[in-house]
Chain A
Amino acid sequence: MSQINKEEVDVVVVGLGWAGSLMSIELAMAGLKVRALERGADRGYEEFAYPKPADEYAYAVRNKVMATPAEAAVTVRYNMSQTALPTRKWGAFCPGNGVGGSGLHWTAVLIRPTPTDLKLKTYADQAYGPGVLQDDMRIMDFPFSWEEIEPYYEKFEMICGQSGLTGNLRGQILEGGDPFEGPRANPFPLPPLDDTLNNTMFVKAAKKLGYHPFPNPSACVSRAWTNPYGNQIAPCNYCGYCSKYPCLNYSKASPQTAVMDALKRMDNFSYEVHANVMKVVLHDDKKTAKGVIYIDKDGNECFQPAKIVVLSSFQFCNVRLMLLSGIGQPYNPLTEEGVIGRNYAFLSNGGATLFFKDKNFNPFATAGATGQMFNDISPGNFDGPGLGFIGGAKIHSSQATGTPISTALPKGTPAWGAGWKEGMEEWYGHSMKISITTTCMSYRDIYLDLDPNYTDDYGYPLLRMTFDWKQNELKLQQHLKGIVSNITKELNPDSYSESFLPMDAHFDLTKYVSTHNVGGAVMGDNPKTSALNKYLQSWDVHNVFVPGGNAFPQNFQANPTDTIGAITLMAAQAIKEIYLKNPGPMVQA
C-alpha cells in the first residue's frame, strides 16, 4: 500500500482527550502549528443535547461513548507464568473513545493528591522500618515538588471550574474543607455542589467518629463558569447522568466544554478523526521522532511529519505505542532493566450499601461528584507503619445515580422478573452507600508488555497486562472494612451489604472498578527506572512527550484527572519556555 504524505506540522498530538486537548491549545497559543489525530469519532454538542444522553442502556450498559474491545483490547493475566487472554468485553475498566476521550464521560471528581502522596517513596523510607513493606514493591516519588506543581493544579482547576471547599489556604486550615490537603495558593474557584441526605448522614457519623469529611471536589460545576480560555460551563442541574455519559447540560468540565470551542477558532490548529495512529517513526539515530504513521477513515496509510510528537491517548494505549515504536527500552521483570511497561498499577474499590425503609434519598437528584469524603486514611495521616501496609483510601458517601438498571437492592432480591420489580418498588430510593477508593502500589512483577499471541486488526501485538492483588493492598482493604463497618453501625440501617476484597482475592477483570489505570511509562528522576522526565519528555527520544495517567509511578487514593491535567500543563509550559528555545533533553540524567 502506498503511503500518503501529509504536510509537516510543528506538533502532532495523538489522542484528543484531556491531555491532548490541553497540549493542543497551549502549544497552539504559543504560535505552533498543531495537528491532532483522534482514533474515534468527533463528538459535538448536537450529539449530547438534552435529553439524548439520558439513556442508561445505551451509555452505561452498551458503552456508547467508549472504545470497543476490538479497538482497544488488552490481554490480561495474573502472573508471569500464565498465558494472557484478551478482554473481549469491558469489565474492571472501560476507556473512552472519540474527541473528549475519557474526559467526556468521567464522573468529574477533581481532587489533588496530598504532598505525601506525591513523595510516597520518601515517606516510606522515613516512616517504615526495614522489612515492613514487601520487598518486591517499587514505589517512587513524583519528580517535582509541591511548590512546582501547585500552580498547574490551580490552572487546571480554573479551566474546569472546580467546585468545593478549601481546606488549606497557604498553610491555614479552614473549616469545612480537607485539612489534609496540600497548601493551596488560592481557594476553590466555585462553591461546592449542594448536599443530599446521604451526605449529611455520612458527615454526622464520620465527624462523630473523629474523621474530617468535606464535599467531593467537583468538575460538575455549581455555578455558571467562564474559564481562562473563555469557554463556558453551565451550572449543574443534578440530573445524575455523569459517569459514562456526556453531560446533557454542559455542566461537566470536559475537553468539549472547557477547551475545544476556543481551540477550534485557532487557524494554526486542525484535527482529524477516525485517524488511528499505528506508530511513531524515529530518525535513524533513534534520538528523535520524525512523525507518526496512521490509518485514516478511508483505510489509507498516512505519514504525518512533525517536529514534536505528543502521545496523549489513554494510559495503556500510550504505553503500547511506545513499545510498538521502539521509544525507550521495554521493561524486563526478571532483570529489571528497561522502563517501558514498568510500574503498572490499578486501584480497588469496595464499601457498604445501607438500606433504610423510612428514608427517601431521592437518588435521581445528583451530580457525579455529589458526596462527601474524608482523607484521614491516606499515607501519613494514620498508623500505616504499625498496621504493616502502605497506602490509603478516600472514604466517601456519594449519592448514587437514580438510573434504574444500576439501582442497588437488598441481598436476595431477584435480578429480573416480578421479584425484581417488587424489590424495586419497595427499595428504590431507600439506600445509600459508603465507598472506598484505594491506592495501589507498584511491584516488580506487575507490568505491561507486548502480547506474544494476540494481535489487532492490523497485525500489531496487543498490550499484555500482568496484574494481581498483593498482600499490601488486601491488608489495606481489610483495614478499611473495619472503618466502613463502624460508620455503618453508627448509621444503624435496617439492613446492609458489604463488598471488600478478602485476603485470598485475585483481580476480577469482569466487575467494573474504575478506569484509573496508571503507570507503564512513568515520570521520574532516573532514566533507569522511569520512561519520562518531569516534563513528560521521553528520556530516549527527546521530541516525544507522553502526558497521561501512564506517568504515575503508583496510584494514589485521589482520582487521577486533576493530576493528569496539572502535569500536562506543566509539560506544555516547559515545551514553550525551554524546549522551543533549545530542543533537546530538558533534564540531564
Chain B
Amino acid sequence: MINFKRLLLANAVLLAGTFASLAQADDSLVKQGEYISRLGDCGACHTIPGKPAFSGGLAIESNLGTIYSTNITPDKAHGIGNYSEQQFSDAVRKGVLPDGTRLYPAMPYPAYAKITDADMHALYTYFMQGVKASDEQPPETDLSFPFSQRWGMRFWNWAFASDKPFQPIGGATAEVNRGAYLVESLGHCGSCHTPRGLAMNEKALDSSDSAFLSGGSLNGWDVPSLRGLPRWSEQETVEYLATGRNDKAAVGGEMTSVIEHSTSWMTEADLKAISAYLKFIGGNPAAPAAANTAVSATEAKLTAAKNLTPGERLYLDNCGACHFVTGKGAPRIFPELDQATIVNAGDPTGLIHTILAGAQQPSTAKAPSTLVMPGFAGRLSDDEVAQLATFIRQGWSNKAEAVSVDQVKEVRESLKK
C-alpha cells in the first residue's frame, strides 16, 4: 500500500519541476488575464460544448445571417498565435484584424474599446500562455450581399463605435466607477440591455445617456432595464449575478449562460461594484410599495378555488405546486411571479417561452443545484397557455396586457426550429 500523502507530494514536486520555467514568469498575470476573460465572457461565444476551450464555432444568428465565432487559441495556423499584443488589442477594441479584415459587431468591440491597457495586457498574456492551442477550424462566416462586404463596417464603426477610453463618472465613488468600468467595457451588458437603433447599433455606450441599459430585445424576449433595479436590493443583485437566483427571481433565457460562464466567477467586490453602479444610474430608487389588496384578492380566490376562470384553474393545476397561491414561490428556488419583469414585459414572448419550454438553473460554485422548471408544451394547448399567461400577467398586482392564442402559436413554432 502506498502512502497517499507522500504520493500526492511527489506528484506536486514533479509537476512543479516540469512546468516551472513557464509557470513562474507570468503566473499571476495569466491568472489575472483568465479572470478578465471571465469578466468579458469570451468563452460565451468562443467556446462550444464538446470542443476545446476558445476554439470557436458558435453559430450566432443575426438579422444579417449566421456569424460563426472564431478560434482564439494561440494556435499559429488556426488561432491567434501570431498576433502581437497591438494586433490583439486592435481586434478586441476596434474589431480590426491584422490583415485589415473588419469584424461584425457580434464581437462587442464597441464596449471592449474601453478596456484598460493593463487589463488588455493581462488578457493577451492569458490567451498566449494560459490557453491551450487548438487546430480546430470553425466554419467561415458567409453573409449574403451587401452584408458580406466587411469593408462596409468601416462606416458603421465611424458612425456608431467609439475609440474613447473608459471615462470615470465624476463625483461617483470608486466602487460605482469600478462597476461602471465592468459594465460598460468587459461586461458588455449594453449588448443586450441597451436598445438598438436602425443599424443594429446600441443607442448608447455609457451612462452619460439615459438610453444606456434601459432595456432591449433579444430573440423576441424583452430584455429588462438595469437602471436602478428598484425591486431588488443591492445584495439581491449580487446574489443573482453570483448564482442565477435570489429571493425573488431565477434566471432564464440568454442570461443563464452569462451567469454560468461569466458573472458567477466574479469576485464579491466586483459584483458589489456592478450592483452599486446599476443602482447609481437609476438614481438609487426606493423600493416600490407592495400592492397588498390585489395580491391578497388573487390569493384568496385561488385558495377558495370557487368559480375559477380557466386561467386560474390552469394555474392551480400546473403552477401552484411551486409558485403557490401567493405567486411568491420560495426564496432562491421557485421565482416570484408577482411583479416579475418577465411576467410583466411588454412583449410576452419570454413568459410564453418559459411556460412552453421550461427553464433550468445553471450550476454555479455558490449554488450548484440545477433545478428544472419543466416545459408545458406537451401538456397545454395554445389556448390554454394564452389563458394561463393572461391570468399570470393580471393576477396579484401584475397589470400587463392579455396574451393571445396567436402569440403562443408563434412562440411554439419558434421552438420547433
Which A residues lie at the B interface, using CB under 8 A?
10, 31-32, 45-46, 49-52, 223-224, 226, 229-232, 234-235, 237, 239, 248-250, 257, 261-262, 264-265, 288, 307, 543, 580-584
Contacts and interface: CB of A to CB of B under 8 A. Distances in A.
B164 interface: no
Contacts of A10: 4
A264 B322 contact: no
A583 B3 contact: yes
B322 A237 contact: yes
Interface string B254-284: 0000000000000000000000000000000
Contacts of B5: 580-581
Given A250-B333, A261-B369, A307-B1, A31 B8 contact: yes
A261 B367 CA distance: 9
B220 interface: no
B371 A232 contact: yes
Nearest to A237: B321
A46 B367 contact: no
Which 3 A/B pairs are nearest by Cβ-Cβ distance? A49-B374, A261-B368, A232-B369
Contacts of A235: 330, 333
A257 B321 contact: no
A46 B8 contact: no
B369 A257 contact: yes
Contacts of B4: 10, 32, 307, 580-581, 583
Interface in B306-340: 318, 321-322, 324, 330-334
B366 A230 contact: yes
B372 A224 contact: no
B365 interface: yes
B332 A224 contact: yes
Contacts of B66: none
Nearest to A45: B372
Nearest to A235: B330
Contact of A234 (B1, B333, B366): B333
Given A224-B333, A234-B333, A261 B1 contact: no
B369 A50 contact: no
B332 to A, nearest CB: 6
Contacts of A232: 332-333, 367, 369, 371
Interface string B69-101: 000000000000000000000000000000000
Nearest to B358: A49
B404 to A, nearest CB: 26
B374 A265 contact: no
A580 B1 CA distance: 11
Nearest to B243: A230
A226 B332 contact: yes
B368 A234 contact: no
B62 interface: no
B28 interface: no
A509 B358 CA distance: 43
Among B331, B333, B366: residue with most chain A CB under 10 A? B333
A261 B321 CA distance: 23
Given A50-B374, A249-B322, 9 more contacts: A49-B372, A224-B330, A230-B368, A231-B369, A232-B371, A234-B322, A234-B333, A262-B368, A543-B1
A264 B4 CA distance: 24
A229 B366 CA distance: 9
A524 B332 CA distance: 43
B370 interface: yes
A362 to B, nearest CB: 13
A230 B324 CA distance: 24
Contacts of A264: 363, 368
B330 A234 contact: yes
A45 B8 contact: no
Contacts of B374: 46, 49-50, 52
Contacts of B333: 224, 232, 234-235, 250
A263 to B, nearest CB: 8
8 contacts: A50-B321, A224-B332, A224-B333, A232-B367, A248-B321, A249-B322, A580-B5, A583-B3
Contacts of A583: 1-4
A10 B1 CA distance: 12
B371 A234 contact: yes
Contacts of A580: 4-5
Nearest to A288: B1
Contacts of B379: 51
Nearest to B247: A224
A249 B369 contact: no
Contacts of B332: 224, 226, 232
A50 B330 contact: no
Given A49-B374, A224-B330, A230 B322 contact: no
B70 to A, nearest CB: 27
Nearest to A47: B372
Contact of A584 (B1, B358, B368): B1
Contacts of B370: 45, 261
Interface in B346-385: 358, 360, 363, 365-374, 379
Contact of A261 (B3, B8, B324, B363): B363
A79 to B, nearest CB: 42
Nearest to A229: B368
A31 B9 CA distance: 12
A232 B387 CA distance: 32
A523 B367 CA distance: 36
Given A31-B8, A226-B332, A239 B321 contact: yes
Interface in B194-236: none
A472 B198 CA distance: 86
Interface in B1-50: 1-5, 8
A367 to B, nearest CB: 13
Contacts of B369: 230-232, 250, 257, 261
A50 B374 CA distance: 6
A264 B370 CA distance: 11
Nearest to B373: A49
A265 B321 contact: no
Contacts of B3: 582-583
A239 B316 CA distance: 13
Nearest to A239: B321
A52 B372 CA distance: 13
Contacts of B368: 229-231, 261-262, 264-265
Contacts of B367: 226, 230, 232
Contacts of A45: 360, 370-372
A546 B51 CA distance: 39
A368 to B, nearest CB: 16
A245 to B, nearest CB: 14
A52 B375 CA distance: 12
A500 to B, nearest CB: 37
B243 to A, nearest CB: 9
B63 to A, nearest CB: 33
Nearest to B324: A237
A265 B330 contact: no
A239 B321 CA distance: 8
The winner among A234, A239, A265 for most chain B CB atoms within 10 A is A234
A52 B379 CA distance: 11
B1 to A, nearest CB: 5
Contacts of A237: 321-322, 324
A144 to B, nearest CB: 25
Nearest to A31: B8
A303 to B, nearest CB: 18
A46 B2 CA distance: 42
A237 B334 CA distance: 12
Contacts of A230: 365-369
Contacts of A288: 1
Given A307-B4, A581-B5, A583-B3, A50 B322 contact: yes
A265 B363 contact: yes
Nearest to A234: B333
Nearest to A226: B332
Nearest to B360: A45
A235 B334 CA distance: 9
B88 to A, nearest CB: 29
